[in-house]
């Protein structure tokens, strides 16, 4: 629906990114090798300032992504952002969009019924604005990380429908005009393609998905609205069931703009080499797509073979996006192993991110840079 038009939000930060890109080559020449700075200065040749940086490493993922026509984002851990200066510096400079890892989830924004806690999420939105980044809102309707008052309360289906409507309206209105893309519905499917048994399906029936999109659209007509899930990278029963659902939603004029493919991979499973074929199916429907939560974990300890396989996994995801005309963004689920959700969730696994715990780049980081650099050559 919004695919043909660019929102004011996007236009504003795109302009900011363009300015940054014009400024950066000059800045990096000034602080770069003596040869570059010296020759520019001695000859008085000002052309260097207008020439793209010779050293591609001077560019960030976000800048390389801009040249390739894709936003590069990261999930942000708000405790790390507050406490860890190197983390904050990388989050601010390396990426052109951000996603709150937890602070927009229902349990975080309404732990007590009727009392909203927007502070941490507002802080991230402000951080993004200060750094010319867009924000992916995550997430409105999910079976997980719900407040206790909701899961342990006894509500009739009618009451639950009102509660969900109210939640979506409150949250989307609070951030109105400041969110680029909302993950409206998260993880609605089982791997076999049936709808997941959740408080929402059980009480409201499958129509809760269309309702959620309508309610979100009413609260912020400019935000792009996504359905998001995992294990839908390749062509499989789950992604095919999702395709059938979004086909139906489009036919019913439900305001859905895109499909988010989480991209939580593990090196011990085959990488989804058919991802571009899969994304093409959604592209053909007129939907945008995005990789929303990329990470590639491994059974610990890490070794060189696993670390190379990890680079391949990240590359397969990014290339799938770059090969898809309306794949708009590629977001990693954190950028350093220091704060990864993986060890807490997958026993014995870890090392899933682009940078080590002490912020050293892994081959995966180099692989993404290379893919973006190649895609940006035109
Ligand atoms: C995870 C966070 O990373 C953890 O910090 C939290 O404890 C649990 O949720 N799919 C999603 C994300 O859509 O919201 C999840 O994030 C990871 C899986």
Point out the ligand 1 atom lying closest to the alpha carbon of residue 75: 3
Q: Tens digit of pLDDT for each residue in 76-105?
A: 999 999 999 999 999 999 999 999 999 999
Which band of pLDDT confidence, cut at 50, 70 and 90, is reported for residue 34? very low
Point out the ligand 1 atom lying closest to the alpha carbon of residue 333: 3
Q: Is 186 in the pocket of ligand 1 (CB under 6 A)?
A: yes
Point out the ligand 1 atom lying closest to the alpha carbon of residue 230: 10
Q: Is 293 in the pocket of ligand 1 (CB under 6 A)?
A: yes
Q: Is the Cβ–Cβ distance between 35 and 292 less than 8 Å?
A: no
Q: What is the pLDDT of residue 128?
A: 98
Q: Is 356 in the pocket of ligand 1 (CB under 6 A)?
A: no
Q: How far apart are CA 91 and CA 84, in angstroms?
A: 11
Q: What is the pLDDT of residue 154?
A: 96
Give which of 217, 218, 214, 199 is closest to 156, Cα–Cα. Answer: 199
Q: Is 341 in the pocket of ligand 1 (CB under 6 A)?
A: yes
How many C-beta atoms surround the C-beta of residue 310 within 10 A? 27
Q: What is the pLDDT of residue 9?
A: 67
Q: How far apart are CA 171 and CA 175, in angstroms?
A: 7
pLDDT above 50 for 2? no
Q: What is the pLDDT of residue 29?
A: 33
> 52-56, 113-117, 182-186, 362-366: lowest mean pLDDT where?
52-56
| H/E run at residue 167 | helix 157-174
Known catalytic residues are 187, 293
Judge residue 44's burial from the number of C-beta atoms within 10 Å of its C-beta, 0-12 exposed, 13-18 middle, 19 or more buried: exposed
Q: Is the Cβ–Cβ distance between 163 and 133 less than 8 Å?
A: no
Q: Tens digit of pLDDT for each residue in 237-284?
A: 999 999 999 999 999 999 999 999 999 999 999 999 999 999 999 999
pLDDT above 80 for 296? yes
Q: What is the pLDDT of residue 28?
A: 35
Which band of pLDDT confidence, cut at 50, 70 and 90, is reported for residue 45? very low
Q: Tens digit of pLDDT for each residue in 301-342?
A: 999 999 999 999 999 999 999 999 999 999 999 999 999 999
Q: Is the Cβ–Cβ distance between 232 and 238 less than 8 Å?
A: yes
- Determine what percent of the chain is predicted with pLDDT higher than 70: 85
Q: What is the pLDDT of residue 55?
A: 61
Q: Tens digit of pLDDT for each residue in 47-77?
A: 444 444 556 566 999 999 999 999 999 999 9
- Ligand 1 centroid to Cα of residue 102, in Å, is 7
Q: Is the Cβ–Cβ distance between 371 and 56 less than 8 Å?
A: no
* Mean pLDDT, the chain, whole residue set: 90
How many C-beta atoms surround the C-beta of residue 300 within 10 A? 15
Report how far apart the first and last C-alpha atoms of the chain are (Å, whole number): 28
Q: Per DSSP, which regions of 230-369 are E strands?
A: 258-261, 264-266, 288-299, 327-332, 349-350
Q: Is 233 in the pocket of ligand 1 (CB under 6 A)?
A: no
Q: Who has greater pLDDT, 236 or 11?
A: 236
- Determine what percent of the chain is predicted with pLDDT higher than 90: 84
Q: Is 295 in the pocket of ligand 1 (CB under 6 A)?
A: no
- Ligand 1 centroid to Cα of residue 201, in Å, is 21
Q: How far is CA 176 from the centre of its chain?
A: 19
Q: Is 353 in the pocket of ligand 1 (CB under 6 A)?
A: no
Residue 145, phi-psi category: left (phi > 0), alpha (psi -120 to 50), beta (remainder): left
Pocket test for ligand 1, best of 341, 350, 352 (most atoms within 8 A of CB): 341
Q: Atom 13, ligand 1: which residue's CA is nearest? A: 186
Q: What is the pLDDT of residue 81?
A: 98
Q: How far apart are CA 205 and CA 209, in angstroms?
A: 9
Pocket test for ligand 1, best of 74, 76, 102, 263 (most atoms within 8 A of CB): 102
């Amino acid at each position: 629906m919004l695919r043909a038009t660019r929102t004011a939000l996007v236009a504003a930060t795109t302009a900011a990114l363009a300015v940054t890109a014009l400024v950066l080559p000059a800045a990096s020449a000034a602080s770069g090798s003596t040869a570059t700075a010296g020759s520019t200065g001695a000859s008085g040749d000002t052309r260097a300032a207008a020439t793209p940086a010779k050293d591609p490493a001077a560019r960030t993922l976000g800048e390389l992504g801009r040249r390739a026509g894709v936003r590069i984002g990261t999930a942000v851990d708000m405790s790390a952002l507050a406490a860890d200066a190197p983390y904050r510096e990388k989050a601010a400079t390396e990426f052109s969009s951000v996603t709150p890892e937890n602070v927009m989830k229902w349990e975080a924004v309404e732990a007590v019924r009727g009392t909203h806690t927007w502070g941490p999420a507002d802080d991230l939105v402000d951080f993004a604005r200060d750094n010319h980044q867009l924000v992916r809102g995550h997430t409105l309707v999910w079976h997980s990380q719900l407040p206790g008052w909701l899961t342990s309360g006894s509500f009739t289906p009618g009451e639950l429908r009102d509660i969900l409507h109210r939640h979506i309206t409150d949250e989307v209105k609070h951030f109105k005009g400041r969110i680029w893309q909302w993950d409206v519905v998260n993880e609605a499917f089982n791997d076999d393609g049936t709808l997941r048994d959740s408080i929402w399906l059980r009480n409201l029936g499958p129509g809760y998905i269309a309702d959620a999109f309508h309610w979100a659209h009413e609260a912020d007509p400019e935000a792009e609205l996504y359905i998001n899930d995992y294990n839908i990278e390749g062509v499989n029963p789950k992604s095919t069931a999702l395709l059938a659902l979004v086909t139906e939603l489009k036919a019913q004029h439900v305001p859905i703009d895109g499909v988010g493919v989480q991209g939580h991979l593990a090196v011990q499973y085959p990488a989804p080499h058919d991802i571009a074929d899969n994304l093409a199916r959604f592209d053909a429907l007129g939907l945008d797509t995005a990789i929303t939560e990329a990470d590639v974990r491994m059974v610990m300890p890490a070794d060189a073979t696993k670390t190379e396989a990890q680079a391949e996994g990240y590359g397969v995801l990014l290339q799938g996006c770059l090969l898809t005309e309306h794949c708009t963004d590629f977001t990693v689920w954190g950028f350093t192993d220091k704060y990864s959700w993986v060890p807490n969730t997958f026993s014995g696994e870890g090392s899933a991110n682009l940078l080590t715990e002490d912020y050293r780049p892994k081959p995966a980081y180099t692989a993404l840079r290379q893919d973006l650099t190649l895609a940006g050559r035109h």
